[in-house]
Each structure stands twice: as C-alpha cells, then as structure tokens.
Chain A
Amino acid sequence: MIAFRIDRRSGVATYLQLVHQVRQALRLGVLEPGDRLPTAREVVEAVAVNPNTVLRAYRELEREGLVEPRPGRGTFVRRSLARPAAAADSPLRAEAAAWVGRARAAGLEREDIAALAASVLDDSFPPPEPPPPFIPAPRPPQTHTHTQEEDT
C-alpha cells in the first residue's frame, strides 16, 4: 500500500503528482507487482482531492501499463519500475555524474544544467509526458491541451 501526499503549491497538476508518486514507489520497490493501490475513496479521504483526479491518475498509470483494474477488487500493480540501470552504483549514473562534472567545468550553473537536461529529455520524450519530477521546475507552463475524455 502507498500513502499519497499533495503539494498544493508545487504547480504540478494534482493527478500528475499522484502518478509520479506511484512511479516513485515502483522505482523504490515500495510497490511490487500484485500490490493493490488504495481505492479512490481511500485516497480522496486522505488527501481531499476530487475523486476524478485519482481516477485520472490511475487511468494514466493503466495506459502506461503499470497497473491494471480488476473489476470489483481494485487496481493492482502489474510491473515494477525498479531498474538496476538506475541504481546508485550503475554505470549510467557514473556517466551522468561525469557529464555533470564536465558541464560545471564549462561554467554552467545548477539551473542551467537542469534546463539543459530537461530540454534533452523533452526532445527524447515528447509531450504529454511531463518532465521527471527530480528536475525542479517552478510553475512549468501547461502547454499541452488536455484531452476531452475526462471532461464529460
């Protein structure tokens, strides 16, 4: 099980905060395949958001193939995101650390590096995929138009 929390000042859409937190939990191994996600009722009672927001987040996770709804029983985790490639001692991390070191040597500030990384990520993962949460983005422009599915 996982407990959600909402940062009302982050500027990140609430449903995306929920999606991120599930992904985070999957990466950290807090959630494993077969685990049940809390029901919409349980989530909204705890964090006081619109139930449709939770349903929307779960639909998004389902679309990504991370969870699956089982009628009458709840929403269950299908696969894990825990990846050895992203672990602390992985070669990828070492490469990223080296890259950051070169960027600093070239005179870039922390924000410049983050913006550069975000820009590359944006090119590699086009919208609607939002930027990963570990890049601090003070009030990112909501450039994408939401689809009509949840508006009916």
Chain B
Amino acid sequence: MKGTLWLAWRQQRALILTGAALLLAVTAWVVVMRTGMTGFISSHHIPTSTCKGWDGDCESEAARTLLDDYNGPLRALGSLSTALPVLIGIFWGAPLLGRELESGTWKLALTQGVGIGRWFTTRYALAAACTVLGSAVLAALVAWWWSPVSNMLNGLYWHDGYIFNATGPAAIACALFGLAAGTAAGLLIRRTLPAMAAVLGAVVAVRFALNSFRSDWISPQLWISQGDAPRREVGSGWSTGEFGFVDAAGRRHAIADACPWGEGLPDLKTCMAQKGFTGRYRTVYPSSDFWTFQWIETGIFLGLAAVLTVLIAYVLRRRLL
C-alpha cells in the first residue's frame, strides 16, 4: 500500500481487524445455529414452505419448539445487525476526524505533501468500504438464517424490527449513514467522546422516526370480504390494525365493533343489513411491500449520508480551524 491509503490502513487496521474477527466469530455462530435449525426442521418434517403466516398450515408441537428455540438467537443477531450503524458511527465515524482534531495530528497530516482532499477521501473511502462490507455480511447472515422460518406462525416476520432493520439494502445504507453521521459529528464537535454521544443520539433518533413513520410512505392494500364472509386472513402480510365495514357506496367505516355479537343481539348479517353495510374490510401491507419499504428507506439513508458527506467536504474545504 502506498501514500494516503497506507496511512488510512495503518490508522484503521485495528478497527478493521477487530471488526473482521468479530464478524468471523458471528458467522461461525450463525452457521452452527442455522445448521442445527435446518437439522431440526428436516428431522421433524416441518413443512416450512407451506407454513407462512399466522394461519400457517403447520401448527405442531415441533413447529412451536422450533420457533421457541430459535426466535431468541435470531432476535439477538437481528439486534446486532440493527445496532451496527450506531457502533460504526461511534467507533469508526466519530474518531475518523474527531481524534485527529482532538490530538492535533491533523496538523501533522495536512502539512505533508498531500492535500486535504486526498487525505480525507482515502480514509473516508476505506471506512465506507469496510462499513458496506461488514453491514452486508451481517445483513446477509440475518436473511440466510431467517429464511427457513420466515413469516411463520408466531415467528419473526419481515416487518419486525429485528428483521426489517437488520437486513436488506436499507441496513447497509443505514450503516453508511452511521459512518457519515459519526464523521460529521467528530468534525463539527472536534472531540471524540461528545461526538460519540451525538452520533448515538442521531442514529437512534433517525431509526426511531423511520420506524414510526414507515407505514406513512405508501398506502396499504384494501382487502374487502363481501357480506358476512369472514375477513381474509392477514397471512404473512403486515396488518395496519385498521378494519371495519364498507357500505354500498364503498365508504369505509373503521368501527370494528359496529356490529357486536352476543346474547340478545342481532346476528351479524342482520346487523349489517340494518346499518347498510355490504361487506367487511381490513388494510394490509402484503409481504411483497418489504422491498418497497426497503428501497424507500435505503434512499432516505443514502440521501442523509450524501448530505452529511457534502457537509463534511464543505467544512473541510473551508479549513479546519
């Protein structure tokens, strides 16, 4: 390695090697766990492919044991992958410029033969490459382990935070955002420790906001069942929790208990007829929306990362002091 790349490697190699070792250990653990899981599935003949959804056609003691045994570890892996952007922001982004500014070594680096542009670009690019690689491996491990038991019975579903935030392109984009946020915090705050705290707050806040507003990005599908036929099962979809009745004009009435039943009450059919309802509905995001949500959030995270990177470049160009 030559020039600024050598410097970037020399300064980040402890992080890179530690990260690689941890990733290797996690991979080994996942391989062992997943092998055990698939062994359990095949030895107990659990039909996982027909088992999707809450009403999956595989209710059995073995299936319940399977999920009881593996939901916890899968959640742990999902949590790790979800936390990765924060960890990268804290341990990689914040010190990337923050420690240089804090210790004064930026004066050493920037008074040598190379310019500030090349110095920063190389170290940032190396950190970004490692971030993409690390988060992609973790996201792939989550997807790989989860796939045999995905969207199954009371297991983990695609819209659960443990899965949605932990895998897919959005997880990688979020890690890049964490790096950019940490780097920007280190540059603007100029001290590593406060920058670490700031990036922790920033990434968690953005994550929380996105999780809260996720269902606002796109409209759910409207599932109508005519007459008093039972509502269509949610299956592996993501119910918004909104359901009710539709009238002849197609208007929706989100009152689930408009026609309660019980002792002395009219039956459902009569009640609906009395109130002019012609059918029942619920709104659901089908599992295919996973990718729509993923790409939307990927775009948001990449956009935020890009804005922060431009901000960093702008501040650096205007000089650091």
A–B contact (CB under 8 angstroms): no
